[in-house]
Structure 1
Amino acid sequence: MRETNKVFHLAIPCKDLDETVDFYEKLGCKLARRYDDRVTFDFFGDQVVCHLSPNNIDENPKMYPRHYGVTFLNREEYEQALEYAIAEKLPFYTEPMVRFKGKQEEHMTFFLIDPANNLLEFKYYHDSSMVY
């Protein structure tokens, strides 16, 4: 189990720092640091660093195999994140859906796409034992 003294770190490309800050702040992430070539966010308690790298943007992103996001352990928090994304008019890559319906690993999920075509998944498992 994760201890509170550890923070996951993820570095991803971005094409424009201003639009990146706008997207992630609308998502509810706190801007921690900004430099000429990158921005760092508190992404739901973890660290996401968006490096200015306009030549490394995936022009045709696909959900699999590359995306990242948050798995909520509380359904209300998942629903709040979904409501917030809708209210902020964040771009959805896929609409909210239920995956693996009727199976133990059934979960609610939606994908957003950031300005650099990075895909973000937000999900909630009905059976918390399926989180890992």
Structure 2
Amino acid sequence: MPAPFHLAIPVTNLADAEGFYGGLMKCEKGRSSEQWIDWNFFGHQLVTHLVAEMPKLPGPNDVDSKAVPVPHFGVVLNMADWRALADNLISSKQRFVIEPYIRFEGKVGEQGTFFLLDPAGNALEFKAFADETQLFAK
């Protein structure tokens, strides 16, 4: 297994972050204070840090004829877990930036992907490969 990453992101409300990451995404809550919360984000450390306002974001990039938010972060799941997460979010009536679909279908790097925003506006991508050897394929 690759080494876990550590990522710190800004949020404007820790209670909203707790509802999203702890509730909807079912991430285990770790250490916390009045200014931040650590999350087990699919085996990686994600820290939500309280800020007064969110930074201004650039416009999206076009990928596979979709407006992909920049910046964004996320994880690569196996296909079964990706489908289960997508189904859970759909049944929870989660709003997507880009709904779950198969990107680059029939081409190198074919992958399932979807994008959503957390309550603070941070963009997240979740992807999966039917053939995991395609992760870095050119």
Question: What TM-score do the two structures reach when normalised by structure 1?
Answer: 0.86
- Please tell me the root mean square deviation across aligned C-alpha atoms, in Å: 1.9
CA distance in 2, matches of 1:36, 1:17: 8
State the identity as a percent.
Answer: 36
Tell me the equivalent position of 1:83.
87
Distance 2:21 2:40 in 1: 9
In structure 2, what is the equivalent of residue 119 of structure 1?
123
Quote how far apart the aligned CAs of 1:43 are: 0.4
Q: Counterpart of 1:50?
A: 48
Q: How does 1:102-113 map to 2 (within 5 A)?
A: 102-113=106-117
Gaps of 5+ in 1: none
1:69 corresponds in structure 2 to 74
Q: Does 1:22 align with 2:52?
A: no
Structure 2 spans left out of the alignment, 5+ residues: 61-67
Shift of residue 34 of structure 1? 2.1
**Shift, 1:60, TM fit:** 6.9
Structure number with higher relative contact order (C-alpha < 8 Å, ≥ 6 residues apart): 1
Task: Give SS of 1:90's match.
Answer: coil
SS of structure 2 residue aligned to 1:115: coil
Q: Which residue of 2 aligns with 1:31?
A: 29
Contact 2:69 2:123 in 1 (8 A): no
Corresponding pairs, count: 128
